[in-house]
Amino acid sequence: MKIKIENGKEYIYDKVRRKYVRNLPEEWVRQNMILFLNKEKDYPISLMSIEKNNKLMHINHRCDIICYDKNGQALILIECKSHKVNIDKKVFEQVLNYQKKVIAKYILITNGKKHFCFKLANGKPIFLDKIPSYSEAII
């Protein structure tokens, strides 16, 4: 990862947005997840969006990462939290609200230490043993 210090503050290079952003704990998790998805799971950087604004019930929500297929269909919706944040019911509710608008095939919640990947069937989560690769997700 490319890191730079400017005016005493640390910045990390975001390959998706093609710019340096402040390297805060949640951003560190997001950038590591982007690299993991790209290098280990073959998700193309060009088919990722970061902090996409979605309006739901007149409230703006920003999804951390959304990976798409070549037709623009959302494959995986990812919510990143700082490693200091416990993944609890509130976090699940947050991401399920985003899912109402995004309608991704899979949902991933991570704090960099714990990861929960699941899909919804009849509104109920079905947890997966692993994060699907791009080729598995597009099937």
Work out the burial of residue 52: count CB atoms within 10 Å of its CB; fewer than 13 is exposed, 13-18 middle, 19 or more buried: middle
pTM of the predicted model as reported, rounded to 2 decimal places:
0.92
Query: Where along the chain do its domains lie?
Result: 3-137
Residuewise pLDDT in 10s, the chain (139 residues): 999 999 999 999 999 999 999 999 999 999 999 999 999 999 999 999 997 665 555 555 688 999 999 999 999 999 999 999 999 999 999 999 999 999 999 999 999 999 999 999 998 999 999 999 999 999 9
pLDDT at 57: 54
Q: What is the CATH number of domain 3-137?
A: 3.90.1570.30
From first CA to last CA, the distance across the chain in angstroms is 31
